[in-house]
Amino acid sequence: MQVVETIAEMKRVRKELTGPVGFVATMGFFHEGHLSLVRKARARNPSVAVSIFVNPAQFGPAEDFDTYPRDLPRDLSLLEKERADVVFMPSVAEMYPPGFDSWVDIASVTDRLEGASRPGHFRGVATVVNKLFNIIRPDVSYFGQKDAQQVLVVRKMVQELKMGLEIVALPTVREDDGLAVSSRNAYLNPEERKAATILHRSLCLAEELWEKGEKDAGSIRQQMRELIQKEPLARIDYVSIADPETLEEMDEVRTPALASLAVWTGRTRLIDNVVVE
């Protein structure tokens, strides 16, 4: 496995990769969700590239860029095991040199949900993903459905800017009790970890209500909120039942619908979603 730190070297290594290149963009601190993406890339492509870059541009000023969990030696050894061909791990100065001033803005879908709660987040995501695609030139790139809005934003960017690669979204990986795996789960103390199952439980409630015939999206959102409010360590940021393409909130549920939420558990903000079909 080649470990590459500069853009110039990555471009040189890219020329030597054979066949379709599968790419997984990450911020490191790997969990089973990341590894499921790398495994799929490995199973489907002759060459696999992975990036590890904690992207400052997608964190707000009061967010956790400095404390975001990092464990490079462990990440590299996991990638060796998964037989990645190349790992690109640039520095912040390499990706954002002094004077960097080119940003990618995707409108509308970024106004809602995560975009509304985290202004500027998707500008940072779209810019770095665009730049990584330009450097690595993958044929296909794999993303986790847990970040449903991110998948939507990246797909829209690739489609509208005619970037000529395929975006594949893979299912959310969950712990046995339903909690979606996430690097930020590392912040949770044992009590918060237990409380965090409320995200998945409330999504299950949304599915159950829909299956029982509830069509009123407002009522589903309300019942999800009431369930979450019973958990003393949880604080709701948003609860949404929306169109999965536009992210517009629904009045009456039409399937498919994206049920999604962001909930603070102690000082940790977690997100999750399911597609109700």
Active site residues: 34
Binding footprint of ligand PAF on the chain (CB under 6 A):
25-27, 55, 58, 125, 128-129, 147, 150
Q: Coil, strand, or helix at residue 248?
A: coil
In the complex, minimum distance from the CB of residue 53 to ligand PAF, in angstroms, rounded to a whole number: 6
In the complex, minimum distance from the CB of residue 183 to ligand PAF, in angstroms, rounded to a whole number: 8
In the complex, minimum distance from the CB of residue 152 to ligand PAF, in angstroms, rounded to a whole number: 13
Residue found under tokens 């404390």: 67
Residue nearer to ligand PAF on the CB measure, 95 or 224: 95
In the complex, minimum distance from the CB of residue 125 to ligand PAF, in angstroms, rounded to a whole number: 5
Q: In what order do the strands lie in the sheet with 2-4?
A: 2-4, 86-88, 47-52, 21-26, 140-144, 166-170
Burial class (CB in 10 A: 0-12, 13-18, 19+), 266: middle
Structure tokens at 250: 């629904």
| 234 φ/ψ angles, rounded to the nearest 5 degrees | -100, 140
Residue type, position 272, single letter: D
Residue nearer to ligand PAF on the CB measure, 106 or 206: 106
Residue nearer to ligand PAF on the CB measure, 47 or 58: 58
Residue nearer to ligand PAF on the CB measure, 34 or 193: 34
Quick check: 27 and 50 in contact, CB under 8 A? Answer: no
- Distance between first and last Cα of the chain: 41
The number of beta carbons lying within 10 Å of the beta carbon of residue 127 is 21
In the complex, minimum distance from the CB of residue 139 to ligand PAF, in angstroms, rounded to a whole number: 17
Quick check: 242 and 113 in contact, CB under 8 A? Answer: yes
Residue nearer to ligand PAF on the CB measure, 51 or 202: 51
DSSP bridge pairs for 170: 144
